[in-house]
Amino acid sequence: MLIGIPCEPREAQAIVAATPATVTALRKQGHEVLVERGAGERASCPDVAYAEAGARLADRAEVLAADLVLQVDAPATEQLDAMRRGGAVASLMAPARTPELLDALAAHGVTGLAMDAVPRLSRAQSLDVLSSMANLAGYRAVIEAAHDYGGMLAGQVTAAGTTPPATVFVVGAGVAGLAAIGAAQSLGAQVRAFDVRPEVAEQVESMGATFVSLEVEVGGGRSDGYAGELTEDAERATQELYAQEAMTADIVITTALIPGRPAPRLIDAGTVAAMRLGSVVVDLAAANGGNVEGTVADERVVTDGGVTLLGWTDLAGRMPAQASQLFGTNMVNLVTLLAADADADAGAAADVDAAADAGLPLVLDLDDQVLRAMTVAHDGEVLWPPPQVAVSAAPAPAPDRGGAAGEPAARHTPEDLVRDPRRRRAVVLTLAVLAAVGAAFAPDELRMHLTVFALAVIAGYYVISHVTHALHTPLMSVTNAISGIICVGAILQVGSSSTWVTALALVGITVASINIFGGFTVTHRMLGMFRRAES
């Protein structure tokens, strides 16, 4: 396949759809890559680097005539005029808001693949450009906010006194929101977050932030994995929560978006006016109208009350090298999927050469959920909107084990026994009674050991259960040390005159050794994920 990488039509767009590294990956798949001269300059990707990676530098007309054109922004009309009929273009297209673009693609006979229409399926995550860019935007939002805040995000204890940490309130716990939470948390801020989907609370808390919950049922997410619209009561309750949290926060970052619709208004002008002097708001939804009243896209606004509203829409583009690498990797994965479908169709087709001669540079499998959702125009027809794809992240409702009327209830599984609080209490009470009866008739020495063991179990449970998820790796090292103590104690008992004691000691040595070696192996592999690869 001949793949073209043109210069982006907007001068402000610093991201390029392919880097020298991703060109190398495309070349390894057997594709020829054409790069327009100067396409990667703003992303620190010079022409010489593309040439060394195996790409061929060409002028714009030759690049646009390729089988598949990869770019960031949506193609302009003059670009479509230069593309050949039967060609394809993959880029961000916002198909729900740009019907004129879809009509133009169909009129020119160009296949349009919208990278911002990738469904939220597990197998499509490698193509999800929105998640890649949102991750960078959330991180950069904290950096921009910290710059305008002008203070330290982490608390300090000095001889001259103490300074409290900054309070950061994040609205939305999607990809951008979680990235913002992680960045603010790493800088030492006190982070609070809210999302209308209660199932994301565990993700927020696992990053060390506080999830703000509501008494009112807020509705949760949609079937496509995004947050859904709220009921009137829920909207009123969330507005009160936003106002309360924003007025006590130093930095507010909003990330709420509903695909295909204007951004929901979360914080009104009254709340902004009541915020602290010097507070900063970063509105990641500014391009779609903004979550905060008063936000202007691509502008920095300072209110009369001294609150700074940042409406930057190019946050990911402010890190063009990393953004281009991630975007380019998503494009490589797209080409891989297209090539796989083309190979599959080629194996089943009777005359593949005839299809190629007809001007079809690639074969789209529209039965594939991912490709069908992304394809907005093909063979002169507009294919938007695609069929609904249900990918809700909410847990499936538990099946009714009682059966229909007149049918016997289903047998309870061990999982039901653990989850049912009444049965769990009954089991615990029964075990406690048996333990008390056993202790009453046990020797004094055994009773003392059982008491120590019971207290150790209770103390260990409460200590470990309250350790934040971020400390699980060092906690594993602590458990390795405890297992080492057990191993030493078991070794001391091997020489006992009692056969039972010796056997139990050998079992203890074996189990503790497995825990020690296994724990250090897992810890080593986890820490290896954070080490910089040697070049």
Alpha carbons 63 and 190: distance in angstroms, whole number: 49
Describe the strand order of the beta sheet including 167-171 as a list of residue ranges. Answer: 210-211, 190-194, 167-171, 251-254, 280-283, 308-310, 300-302
**Six token digits for residue 225:** 């994995």
Catalytic residue, chosen from 67, 91, 120, 140, is: 120
The answer to whether 74 touches 94, Cβ cutoff 8 Å, is yes
The answer to whether 173 touches 197, Cβ cutoff 8 Å, is yes
Alpha carbons 351 and 346: distance in angstroms, whole number: 8
Q: Of 52, 56, 20, 19, nearest to 37 (Cα)?
A: 56
Catalytic residue, chosen from 67, 128, 195, 368, is: 128
Q: Of 265, 255, 273, nearest to 289 (Cα)?
A: 265
Alpha carbons 128 and 158: distance in angstroms, whole number: 45
Radius of gyration over every alpha carbon of the chain, rounded to an integer in angstroms = 30
Residue with tokens 């074996």: 510
- Determine whether 223 is an active site residue: no
Question: Between the CA of residue 297 and those of 132, 281, 294, 311, what are the distances in Å?
Answer: 21, 13, 10, 5
Question: Between the CA of residue 170 and those of 173, 180, 182, 524, what are the distances in Å?
Answer: 8, 7, 11, 33
Catalytic residue, chosen from 71, 91, 131, 279, is: 131
- Determine whether 400 is an active site residue: no
Alpha carbons 363 and 370: distance in angstroms, whole number: 14
- Determine whether 120 is an active site residue: yes
Helices (H), 114-162: 129-149
- Determine whether 244 is an active site residue: no
The answer to whether 333 touches 126, Cβ cutoff 8 Å, is yes
Q: What are phi and psi of 114, to 5 degrees?
A: -85, 115
By residue count, the chain amounts to 535
Within its chain, how far is the Cα of 157 from the centroid?
34
Catalytic residue, chosen from 125, 156, 388, 496, is: 125
Catalytic residue, chosen from 185, 226, 279, 325, is: 226
**How many secondary structure helices (H) and strands (E) does the chain include?**
18, 17
Question: Between the CA of residue 349 and those of 343, 361, 474, what are the distances in Å?
Answer: 10, 15, 56
Alpha carbons 228 and 231: distance in angstroms, whole number: 10
Question: Strand 300-302 to strand 308-310: parallel, antiparallel, or no bridges (unpaired)?
Answer: antiparallel
- Determine whether 50 is an active site residue: no
Active site amino acids: 120, 125, 128, 131, 226
